[in-house]
């Protein structure tokens, strides 16, 4: 055995040749970097999640308006969206709505914008965490709107539904006179774009 092979045996005992690993310092530096990255990401995530929930609630509401419009045409009857609005609560989620066929079925009154008798419920919506449905006002100071069998606003009720989260972000869903549904956003609840 030559001198060079002997030195390798002393440095690498039998069965460990070619094995490598992390030193304690490398491991501590890696953990430190991960802690710093997590510290940076948590505040961004805490802002991102409420905004994501608000965006999702607004998109779901627009989708439900579209669904009500299509169902009114398909069923050849008025379909109503009735909103249960609440004052804004910073740490909670409030506000619900329901979509129903306002055809007077089961002893109900047709086209009265109230679910009564056996009128069919098509969908219900509840705001997710930290999102408030704080205003729903339509023509005639009512909180219900709907669509006729032609896809136009029932009784010409037009207006807005306003959503807000706890990070001062707002969405407005607008029902127009031609039955169009628009979604706009605001950072102050006054200027919409």
Model pLDDT, residue 91: 66
Asked whether residue 60 is assigned to any structural domain, the reply reads: yes
Asked whether residue 12 is assigned to any structural domain, the reply reads: no
Range of the domain at 36: 24-186
**For the chain, how are helix, strand and coil distributed in percent, rounded to 5?**
35, 25, 40
Model pLDDT, residue 18: 56
Q: What is the CATH number of the domain that holds 118?
A: 3.55.40.10
Model pLDDT, residue 88: 74
One digit per residue, the tens of pLDDT, for the chain of length 193 reads 555 554 444 555 565 555 577 788 989 999 999 998 888 877 766 677 888 999 999 999 999 999 999 999 999 999 999 999 887 776 666 889 999 999 999 999 999 999 999 999 999 999 988 899 999 999 988 999 999 999 999 999 999 999 998 888 999 999 999 999 999 999 998 899 8
Strand partners for 83: 97
Instruction: Say how far apart CA 118 and CA 43 lie, in whole Å.
Output: 49
Asked whether residue 1 is assigned to any structural domain, the reply reads: no
Q: What does the longest C-alpha to C-alpha distance in the chain come to?
A: 105
pTM: 0.76
Asked whether residue 81 is assigned to any structural domain, the reply reads: yes
If phi > 0 it is left, if psi is from -120 to 50 it is alpha, else beta; for residue 181 that is beta
Asked whether residue 106 is assigned to any structural domain, the reply reads: yes
Model pLDDT, residue 118: 93
Model pLDDT, residue 185: 95
The answer to whether the beta carbons of residues 154 and 186 sit under 8 Å apart is no
Asked whether residue 101 is assigned to any structural domain, the reply reads: yes
Report how many domains make up the chain.
1
């Amino acid at each position: 055995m030559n001198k060079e092979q002997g030195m390798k045996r002393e440095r690498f005992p039998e069965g460990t040749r070619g094995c490598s690993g992390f030193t304690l310092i490398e491991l501590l530096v890696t953990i430190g970097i991960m802690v710093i990255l997590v510290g940076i990401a948590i505040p961004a995530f805490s802002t991102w999640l409420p905004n994501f929930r608000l965006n999702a609630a607004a998109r779901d509401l627009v989708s439900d308006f579209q669904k009500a419009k299509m169902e009114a045409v398909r069923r050849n009857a008025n379909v109503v969206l009735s909103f249960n609005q609440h004052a804004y609560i910073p740490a909670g989620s409030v506000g619900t709505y329901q979509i129903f066929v306002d055809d007077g079925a089961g002893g109900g009154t047709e086209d009265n914008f109230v679910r009564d008798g056996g009128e069919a419920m098509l969908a219900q919506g509840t705001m997710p965490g930290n999102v408030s449905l704080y205003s729903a006002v339509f023509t005639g100071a009512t909180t219900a709107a709907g669509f006729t069998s032609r896809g136009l606003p029932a009784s010409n009720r037009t207006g807005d539904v306003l959503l807000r989260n706890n990070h001062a972000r707002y969405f407005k869903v607008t029902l127009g006179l031609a039955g169009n549904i628009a979604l706009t956003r605001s950072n102050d609840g006054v200027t919409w774009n």
